[in-house]
Amino acid sequence: MNYLLIAFAIFVTHTFIQDGDTHGTIAQRISVSSFNILMLVFGFTEFIQLGSEFSELAGHVSRVGGTFYSVFLMFYRYARSNPTGQRYRSSTKSNSFRSI
């Protein structure tokens, strides 16, 4: 893709090389243009990869939020079913646990 874009600039637009340019100047322009195109490709690739990583992060946040919501519902339902504030339900037997 890099060479294709540079070839397009050289042969199609006819504005890349001016009259009187030396071989060194032309090589320098090709080198700088090639570097710029490769940096653009790298930047776009990083941008697309960042979008993928952001969507993965959003998935993790959604799962953690769902877990917190489920835990909240569990405690809420427990609090509604036990309005007296007792932590444990008393058993009918008074000696349900033996002393050692």
Say what the pLDDT of residue 96 is. Answer: 52
User: How confident is residue 19, by pLDDT bands cut at 50, 70 and 90?
Assistant: confident
**Could you tell me if residue 6 is inside a domain?**
yes
**Could you tell me if residue 44 is inside a domain?**
yes
**Could you tell me if residue 98 is inside a domain?**
no
| 98 has pLDDT over 80 | no
- pTM: predicted TM-score of the whole model, two decimal places: 0.55
Measure the CA angle with vertex 4, ends 21 and 14; round to 5°: 35
Q: How many domains does the chain have?
A: 1
**Could you tell me if residue 55 is inside a domain?**
yes
Say what the pLDDT of residue 20 is. Answer: 83
Q: Give tens-digit pLDDT for 35-76.
A: 999 999 999 999 999 999 999 999 999 999 999 999 999 888
**Could you tell me if residue 64 is inside a domain?**
yes
Q: Which residue range forms the structural domain that includes residue 34?
A: 2-15+22-81
The DSSP-derived string for 12-31 is IS--SS-TT--HHHHHHHHH
Contact 33, 6 (CB under 8 A): yes
**Could you tell me if residue 93 is inside a domain?**
no
CA 22 to chain centre: 47
**Could you tell me if residue 95 is inside a domain?**
no
**Could you tell me if residue 86 is inside a domain?**
no
